[in-house]
Structure 1
Amino acid sequence: MTLLFEKRQTKFLALIFFNQTENLYSHNLLELELKHAWLSVENMNPMPMLTSLTLEFIRLEDKNLTELNKSFPNLLVLNLIDVRGLKRPMIHLLNLKTCQWIITDASPCLILITPNLTTLNLECRKVVALYIEAPLLSNFHLAIDHLGAVSVRTFKNLKSLSLKSSYICSLIQKFLHFKTIENLTLNSGDFAVGAFDDSKFTIKKMLTYFRTVTSLCFNTRAWLSFEARYESFDRVCLDGRLGLTTFRGYLLRVDPALTFSLVACVLDQCKDLVDVSLLIHRDHAAAHVSRRFMDWCVAGWPRLNWRWGAWEEGTEDTWITNGIPNAQVN
């Protein structure tokens, strides 16, 4: 049973709903979705059968999530989207498998202890400390605007990692010791051109550490972030044994010499590479300089399957044929 509860400024109604539904719902309800409510958890009845819970745009009087953990012990799916009123929240659910946690206000500390979690989507603006204990985690999307202390216990099964941060080069170093990552996506988020973090982490170092990655994607300004710290020693060849087979890059701008050198740094180290997709911002996609850049790439690595595209925020990616965007990119 799925129940959608959607009311505004209903602290008392929400409180009655939680306190007076024992006979009707507490023992049988499997899925629950609440939106736009002010909830009190005082004397809340446990719902042991509930496996899926979504709280969206909620004011929750459970600052540490203590009652939530007690009341829904068998949750498999948990979505917390813009839940306010939290101080030092901790998700401690032993059966949880999928979690989406989107936080729009600052939080001093976030803790997740979830031994069976496999998929985690965590987005937050500013966190002083982040602690995650999820040994079975395989898919992890992390977006942090302001980076604090990040502590993650060993993810023995982490396969897919997506990172978004204005401090992308600093954040990625937190995951260097994970040797099982196969799909890696990097996004620097929204920041002014030139406003990079102080990390000296380069693309050569990234390729050196993430040798198990088979699919690599640079979204939007992440490429520009690495390009800004590109140095001549990054051209030095590694051993060419990197396992990368698929590469996609979203280019904000094209400097033929510099951008080509950075592309070469990736392609020359990946002998097993098969598919390469490069998307250029629509403001530059049809320019002569981009056409020359494309010709250089195809001539330099003719054996690769090249896909060219154009991108822009808020619109669909498109193919480029003969310099003209004409079809959606899948």
Structure 2
Amino acid sequence: MTRRAVVKGVGHYLPERVVPNSYFEDIVDTSDEWIRTRSGIERRHFAAEGETTSQMAAHAAREALKNASLDVDDIDAIIVATSTPDLTFPSVATMVQSELGMTRGFGFDVQAVCAGFVFALTNANALIMSGQVDRVLVIGSETFSRILDMTDRATCVLFGDGAGALVLEAQDGSGENTDRGILSADLNSDGRMRDMLYVDGGVSTTQTSGHLRMQGNPLFRQAVGKLTETAETALGKVGLTDDDLDWIVPHQANIRIIQGTAKKMGVPMDRVILTVQDHGNTSAASIPLALSVGCTEGKIKQGDLVVTEAIGGGLAWGAVVIRW
């Protein structure tokens, strides 16, 4: 028998404020058509004044627990993927722990920018497979609106806020690729390319949070190849191929990256979960948001083979293969 980390429940949260593309027309030299054509984004959500990453994460966590028919006392650990924490420390995960009334177990954050949720899932899977824990809340939550330079039209129109969460539970499997749960993962990073996507501030350099900076064209050229390679590597680790997939649930950065990756993998777009048009790029929150929406809409069903893949600042990128 093989111990597996099986998805028990999903949930998400989006701030009340919806920001259409037209909002930016009075701020920078752009238009709804320009944004849609280049990114596929039509709208995004911005957190309200005083609304924090940890609060959004807690909302998503409660939804995931409800979907899993569990309560917080059933959870052993919380892992939060975020690049926009409430404070430098303590971790967002411990704040969520407090908000949920969880007085046992442990929590910590993972920071791999847009690839953060893939890295968090992989850590959660390792904890479960080692026997350290039985159930983990894995959350992606971001308030990227707080680090945007609203004079930079290349970046300010792309990002949004939100949170998504999964509950992973230990279950026994046969050790075959027909098992439910996380089957494999592939993680990568290359610090030589850090200038393609970064924030120009930090505690030990400027003592400020800084603003997001991006080299869009070079990043695009890296993204499609690396996302395809990491997804196919993760599938190959368990003897599966692109043809076995029911769904790709990609990081929702840009419709052209998503389309390019799907085409290179030979997967039709009707087998790709898309939320970029409604959420924009929510960084580490985008994959759990998309997974939750895909389940809510009745697309992702038990037994489906799903691959999630993401690339972000670092550069960091990776993929996780899940039998739902």
- TM tier, smaller: under 0.3
Taking structure 2 as the reference length, the TM-score comes to 0.28
Taking structure 1 as the reference length, the TM-score comes to 0.27
More strand, by proportion? 1
Greater relative contact order (Cα < 8 A, sep 6+): 2
More helix, by proportion? 2
